[in-house]
Amino acid sequence: MWARGEKSGIAARQRAAAVAVFTLAVTVFLGVALSSSPRVEAAVTTPGYLHTNGSAIVTESGTPVTLKAVNWFGMETSNCAPHGLWQISLDQGLDRIAAFGFTTLRLPFSNECLRSTAPVSGIEARNPELAGRTPLQVMDAVVAEAGARGMQVILDRHRPDSGSQSELWYTSRYSEKDWIDDWVMLAKRYAGNPTVIGADLHNEPRGSACWGCGDAARDWAAAATRAGNAVLAANPRWLVIVEGVERSADGSTTWWGGNLRDTAAKPIQLAVKNQLVYSAHDYPASVFPQTWFADPAYPANLPAVWDRSWGYLAKQNIAPVLLGEFGTKLETESDRAWLRTLVGYLGENRISFAFWSFNPNSGDTGGLVADDWVTPQQAKLDALAPLLGAAPGPTSAPTTTAGTTAPTTTKPSTTAPTTTKPSTTAPTTTKPSTTAPTTTKPSTTAPTTPPTSTPASGKPSVTWTRRSAWNDGYVADVTVRASGALPTWTVSWADPSAVAVTNAWGMSCSVGGGRITCTGSDWARSLPAGGTATVGLQVRIAGPAPERPVLTVS
């Protein structure tokens, strides 16, 4: 009944024993008996395989189901495992997710991790049963333990390689055939296991990706049809989840993967009927100031925005929609208004969802737990309570050994999308995807007062903030504010310990002469007068990380 090739002691548990363990964990963690918590009690029985009926996702008996999912990322990064397992056990994480009221896990992965035969490292202390496991075997363990709790899993191909996300479904390193072959492998691997219910084929198509344009190199709808049919040939009971694009045929743009305006006119047609779910992503003004956030009618204008981009599919009974990502730190009134309105919209229209994220180390959204990976972010849970079927109020945290602060992964905010046709290399975008750190041992947090450059005439003001640091690396944000139109910009700072910049978003960076030098690129290459962009980088070091470097701006 479990995944083929699974040799995990976790997977070998009998369901009765797993439920008993979960019952005990919830009793200890929440201080209440399982029988007194309806939402936890309901989570011990999976609805089985699912299909669609109009705009509804339904069970095999035809009962409508709303997927109540949360994202737990990390298997798409160089860690090749859900983040936080250096600090909590897999059991603890899944117990928390189930106790919060979620029924489904959206599990991002990369093809690079999927194909790796090297054991996952850095998680053995809290998860000794995962010692020596390959990333694919760790995925097996996540699936097994989620199923033991009555939860289901959506697999999300988040990235081709573990270093960065791609706008198209293929890259020079991972071909379309590699992408489809890996999906077919997973479809076969989990065939017969109703814990895994579907495939989110490619995360956030954007830039040059088009919907139904007929260009085989860019037509995401056509590629999704090819991949979806291959998946269903291997496992006809899976849901095939197809995200939108960034730019519609009329030139309008929205969040990456969030534009499904052309779908009604050019729908996906799969060989197996009633298995297709469309998906979009949506974020608040703190992630990027889309034009609709400045509308005087905000937030009352939001339902019309969502109707145009993706909500119409559900409201007109065309097809089901999964809002596959949405999240916020909930620190501004604008964000709070956005979330209140979105929760009402999703509930009213019975739209399935996947909150971003369980992880606290999503730089611009945070997560559902604090940096200790244990303490609930109660304000967010209270805001989500109407969707989760849980009464607002305190949710106690389980006892765990204190650890270190997690490295931060950032979905940086960007400048406004341009009206020019995006190229295949540099997206004209609105919301970059999470860029994850490559280590598991953070040790310090950001300084409370970040260093800021003093701009000369015509130069931008630049603020540098260290988000996290560990024994051999750190992650920092760089916020650039333009007083006048800024066609290019460069910032540098001394860092004698820097060995290499292992990742950067919104800028191109180099190390030399004891300094790091970064120049704006891609979506943050240029800024309009008064514009602001928050970009970032991850650095590998052989000594102490800088705390307040002096910035040089040009």
Which of the residues are catalytic?
Answer: 204, 325
Bridge partners, residue 486, by sequence: 527
CA distance 186 to 199: 9
Q: Is the distance from CB of 97 to CB of 88 less than 8 angstroms?
A: no
* H helical segments located in 332-377: 333-349
* Nearest in space to 106 (alpha carbons), one of 385, 383, 434, 372: 434
- Write the DSSP assignment of 129-187 as a string of letters: GGTT--HHHHHHHHHHHHHHTT-EEEEEEEESSSS---SSS--SSS-HHHHHHHHHHHH
Q: Is the distance from CB of 278 to CB of 224 less than 8 angstroms?
A: no
**DSSP type of residue 309:** I
State which H helix or E strand residue 499 sits in. Answer: strand 498-505
The position carrying tokens 């599990």 is: 107
Strands of the 498-505 sheet, one edge to the other: 442-445, 461-470, 473-481, 532-541, 498-505
Half-sphere exposure of 542 (CA within 13 A, CB side): 6
Determine whether 370 is exposed, middle or buried from the number of CB atoms within 10 Å of its CB (0-12, 13-18, 19+): middle
Q: What ranges make up the beta strands (E) of 257-299?
A: 276-281
* H helical segments located in 350-417: 378-388
* Nearest in space to 284 (alpha carbons), one of 343, 213, 350: 343
Which two structure tokens, joined as six digits, stand for 471?
Answer: 């024994």
In this structure, the dihedral spanned by the alpha carbons of residues 44, 45, 50 and 53, taken in order and rounded to 10 degrees, is: -100
Q: Is the distance from CB of 326 to CB of 342 less than 8 angstroms?
A: yes
Let me know the angle formed at the C-alpha of 412 by 430 and 491, rounded to the nearest 5 degrees. 115
**DSSP type of residue 415:** P
